[in-house]
Structure 1
Amino acid sequence: MPSISPFAGKPVDPDRLVNIDALLDAYYARKPDPAVATQRVAFGTSGHRGSSLTTSFNENHILSISQAIADYRKGAGITGPLFIGIDTHALSRPALKSALEVFAANGVEVRIDAQDGYTPTPVISHAILTYNRDRSTDLADGVVITPSHNPPEDGGYKYNPPHGGPADTDITKVVEGAANDYMAKKMEGVKRVSLDDALKAPTTKRHDYITPYVDDLAAVVDMDAIRESGVSIGIDPLGGAAVDYWQPIIDKYGINATIVSKEVDPTFRFMTADWDGQIRMDCSSPYAMARLVGMKDRFDIAFANDTDADRHGIVSGRYGLMNPNHYLAVAIEYLFNNRENWNASAGVGKTVVSSSMIDRVAKEIGRKLVEVPVGFKWFVDGLYHGTLGFGGEESAGASFLRRAGTVWSTDKDGIILGLLAAEITARTKRSPGAAYEDMTRRLGTPYYARIDAPADPEQKAILKNLSPEQIGMTELAGEPIVTTLTNAPGNGAAIGGLKVSAKDGWFAARPSGTENVYKIYAESFKSEAHLKAIQTEAQDAISALFAKAAKKAG
């Protein structure tokens, strides 16, 4: 297990804050070399991420990605507006300016925030879907400039096509390849106008993002129940993009809520350090959430969002910060029992590394379980068509259908997951923490953990391309193995690793996309000791696989 920093959960030393001027200077001054792997555009489902200080998120990256997206739109016949939003990271605004210069030069109709404010990821998804409803031509798409909960020195840029959710690899590979080609050709072919001209262009239009999203919230959450109950709510935007959304929500619906801080500062100096001493706006981390957790007794329910508000962190009174898996299980149980207009066949979406408590809940409520690989993109189709009522990841990202049973967002929405916690508290007269405690009495208590273990690039490739036959395990911590999977049962897509399950426990292993480690997720419904045994056997089995491969290669 990684060691916890002595700075974890404490205010950050001002001397350790990022130098914003140096960060912004580097954005323009440093020119990435696509021949260097770490300086290339790497466009995953969470988009391209990096820092100007490491020449991995700089002006040329954004210019080339924006041109690649303009090219993709043209080729795909996407002619509607492109909704674009930014979060509160320091690099987000300069990246927006770069993107606007390219989009204007390409004649792309862009919608920017009317007040030059910040726009959460779910709001962009909602805007795309709202615009495209009942349309089959001139469809809209969107861009969100955010590295999510990453440290203050990071930047990010992601693309959401007309279905409103994260772009799949068939799109991201095209965008990534074209962007790197532009950089390799010294930006030849990248169209660009001045920022002044971009802002004056007839294709660059101001858009009120706040009002349509806020006004529509009652269609997805029972805002009347929250108001009428008087349940007291604490909200911490963690200095992120949701900061300008909560007051309009409070004002419109008359809910008894307090925004504990409206401070926005690109150094995020108000945060407490995460487990390793770094600043991360990770609303699922007890260290990063120390401020709101410290206020747990002031409110009936409290919640926070990360910087682009696609994730949620729920503080449930005396239960403190809820483990994301626990809250997902409670949310699923509540929603499927209280949304009478949802299709009776709508399923429960979870990832292969999420808690099996969700499996037990799905069985108890008589709903189909749809288990997919890691990545919210796998829920897009189900949410869009209403065949999934809920889709959630163990990293505290989820979304669910409108009360009428139609799509709300096809990207994660931390705002509605927070408000749902208030609805649950209002309508059931108990907190989500108490609901989970009751659930464990009926369905058992899971012990869940994730650990990292070292793996070089060759070993990571072995893990990513396994077949079930290669595992060679028949027992897991004293129980016969029931399934060994390298493809997700819900959609047949490759896990990019493996999952081994027995009756009362399982583990999944998959390589990290960014570090020389692999992640082991494990869970036991017996005990902490049983969990440790599962983790040990998992590491031993994978080490044996690596040794066998090395021997074969040697």
Structure 2
Amino acid sequence: MGDLIFTFSGIRGISGKELNKELVEKIAFSLGELFKDDDRRVIVGRDTRISGLHLEEAVISGLSLANFEIYNAAVCPTPVLMFIKNKLDIKAGIMITGSHNPPEWNGLKLIKEENYLNSSELDIIRKRVNSVDLKSYKNKKIENKIEIINPIPEYLQSLYEHLNFKKLKKKNNLKVVIDTGAGAGKLVTPRLLRELGCQVKSINEDLFVNNVFPRGIEPIAENLHDLIMEVWQGKYDIGFAHDCDADRLAIIGENGECYPEDIGLALIMDFMLQNINTKVKEVFFVTNLASSLIFDLIAEKYGAKVIRTPIGEYYLLNQMRDLRENASDSTLIFGGEGSCGGVMYPPFNSTRDGIFAVAKIVEILVLTGEKISALVSELPKFYSHREIIKIDNNLISPLIERMKTELENEGEKVTQINQDLKFGIEKEYFVLIHPSNTELVIRIISEAKTQALARIYCQTARELLSLVISKM
């Protein structure tokens, strides 16, 4: 399967090359190996990449050959697809999305029960794909069982039940800019904002005539110049931006500042803990190793517990499920991956949800009456720095092993979880070395109380990593 990235975070590659229709059809067919009972329902959705249309055809063909009953949500954000899948108690799902990857990429998120496939399940899929010949199946008469659905209205109606909706709409006079980047969020978030009572300007909503995206897909500062200028020049209260499937969120303040991804989740965490129901006696906030130290300090302020997992939504979902199995009615469990801005709130939606995060941020601004910059200024202050190194997949494991040895020889106390290495001083700084789940790169992420220290820690780790690579 060449340079295809095959992990629980998704099967991703360049559409038409590593990720072609023949392979996608086999992957969809092979998903049937994991579902042996009589419930053959599966849900399918896609983001707005043009290649998604062709991949959707291949997915539906493969699922039909595996005798699935298909619910097709067509263009649909990942959080909406996950919500309606769980609402309808559908066990299987495929989301066709390249998420935040460049437009020539696409991918498949394979879903089982309330989570994505684990490593052993992905191995079953991989082996089946390598061995199966679909020609014999195509000679049989196959009845296509496909139902087109629109889950957006039900998603929004349920979302509003987790807000102080009436008070929010009555008091709301926010001016908001939303930049969906022509992704699937354009079908949901502008509507959400209007129904919450915001004055909304939507930009970069459509693909250009040649099917080019109007900006870089990943919602980071360098791709959000249009949004930053629109908010600042138009004197808007806030700006929001999504990636292509709307599980990520970026926030622009009224002063034109593009906040780090952790900030939105930190504001939501602080607000929820400050306004917690008196019946709640115990709170668990689940996040990953790369998320900011801000969360530890907020949790300490309110007596909550932070649990950190390896990077990847799969791990957070597993941890939340395990906590829920042993939790009482007086326990609140929520969290998210700070690096994407989407919140995970199981009472509403058991997935990373950039749209729900938008709604909660609007609720916070309206009910507090504060500017976003004022709220951010009250949070604990940390600075982050990031570097990346491209790496061949077969070098990752030996590189991480050697890097850990080098760090320990330098006197660092290193924590290793899977292939992630983390070191630092609690509540002061950290450095994380993380082989990406979605790209053939290693990310070096640091955080400290000054920008200079964060940069120094990160660049020093990068230099050591480069030295180790040069010796391999």
- Matched to 2:118, the amino acid is D
- Distance in 1, matches of 2:401 and 2:45, equals 37
Q: Please give the alpha-carbon distance, in whole angstroms, between the structure 2 residues aligned to 1:119 and 1:247.
A: 14
Instruction: Tell me, yes or no, if the aligned pair for 2:241 and 2:250 is still in contact at 8 Å.
Output: yes
| Cα 1:98/1:536, change in 2 over 3 Å | closer
Tell me the distance in 2 between the aligned counterparts of 1:455 and 1:143: 28
1:484 equivalent among 398, 414, 422:
414
Residues 125 and 410 in structure 1, CA contact (< 8 A), matched pair in contact too = yes
**Distance in 2, Cα, partners of 1:51 & 1:100:** 20
| Amino acid corresponding to residue 290 of structure 1 in structure 2 | H
What SS does the corresponding residue of 1:294 show, helix, strand or coil? Answer: helix
Aligned CA distance change for structure 1 residues 270 and 42 (closer, same or farther; 3 Å): closer
**3-state SS of paired residue (1:296):** helix
Which residue pairs with 2:434 in the alignment? 510
In the alignment, structure 1 residue 160 sits paired with structure 2 residue 111: yes
Q: List gaps (5 residues or longer) in structure 1.
A: 1-33, 133-138, 273-279, 476-480, 488-493
Q: Aligned equivalents of 2:397 and 2:228: distance in 1?
A: 40
- Are 1:62 and 2:24 matched, yes or no? yes
Aligned to 2:6: 43
Q: What secondary structure, in the 3-state scheme, does the structure 1 residue paired with 2:33 have? A: helix
Q: 2:194, 2:437 → 1: CA distance?
A: 42
1:319-350 superposed Cα distances (whole Å, 9 cap, x missing partner): 52211022222221112222427843231122
Amino acid paired to 1:485: T
Say whether 1:419 aligns with 2:376.
no
Q: Residue 53 of structure 2 corresponds to which residue in structure 1?
A: 93
Q: Give the deviation of 1:410 after TM superposition.
A: 2.1
Please report how far the alpha carbon of residue 80 of structure 1 lies from its aligned counterpart in structure 2 after TM superposition: 5.0
How many angstroms apart in 1 are the aligned matches of 2:257 and 2:140? 51
- State the distance in 2 between where 1:377 and 1:344 align: 27
2:122 counterpart letter in structure 1: T
Question: Which deviations, in whole Å up to 9, do the C-alpha atoms of 1:139-181 show, x marking residues without a partner?
Answer: 5321111111222222211111111x33222322222232233
Is the contact made by 1:70 and 1:103 (CA closer than 8 Å) also made in structure 2? yes
Normalized against structure 1, the TM-score is what? 0.76
Contact 1:391 1:398 (C-alpha < 8 Å) held by counterparts:
no
Cα separation, 1, equivalents of 2:394 and 2:95: 33
What's the % identity of the aligned pairs?
Answer: 20
Preserved contact between residue 342 and residue 389 of structure 1 (Cα < 8 Å): no
SS in 1 for 2:6: coil
The 2-side partners of 1:110 and 1:457 are apart by 35
1:396-440 superposed Cα distances (whole Å, 9 cap, x missing partner): 143232xxxx5322221110111111111111111333212122x
Which secondary structure does the structure 1 equivalent of 2:258 belong to?
Answer: coil
Alignment of 1:150 with 2:101, yes or no, is: yes
Q: Which residue does the alignment assign to 2:337?
A: 393
Change (3 A) 1:158 1:265: farther
Where does residue 448 of structure 1 map in the other structure? 384
The alpha-carbon distance between structure 1 residues 407 and 470, as it changes in their structure 2 partners (threshold 3 A), is farther
1:11 counterpart residue number: none
Matched, 1:121 2:56: no
Using a 3 Å threshold, how does the CA distance of structure 1 residues 300 and 461 change in structure 2: closer, same or farther? same
- Amino acid across the alignment from 2:161: A
Q: State whether residues 451 and 521 of structure 1, in contact with CA within 8 Å, keep that contact through their aligned partners in structure 2.
A: yes
Amino acid in structure 2 at the alignment position of 1:56: E
Q: Do the aligned partners of 2:65 and 2:137 also contact (CA within 8 Å) in 1? A: no
Matches for 1:58-457 after TM superposition, within 5 Å: 58-74=20-36, 77=37, 79=39, 81-113=41-73, 117-132=74-89, 139-163=90-114, 165-182=115-132, 185=133, 187-188=134-135, 191=138, 201=144, 203-230=145-172, 231-246=174-189, 248-249=191-192, 252-265=195-208, 269=212, 271-272=214-215, 280-283=216-219, 285-297=220-232, 298=234, 299-340=236-277, 343-384=280-321, 386=324, 389-401=333-345, 407-439=347-379, 443=380, 445-453=381-389, 455=391
Partner residue in 2 for 1:497: 420
Provide the rounded CA distance (Å) in 1 between the counterparts of 2:394 and 2:365. 49
Q: CA deviation at 1:379?
A: 1.4
Distance 1:112 1:156 in 2: 17
Q: Residue type matched to 2:287 in 1?
A: K
Alpha-carbon distance in structure 2 between the residues aligned to 1:514 and 1:162: 22
Whose strand proportion is higher, 1 or 2? 2
Question: How many residues are matched?
Answer: 461
Structure 2 CA distance for aligned equivalents of residues 339 and 400 of structure 1:
16
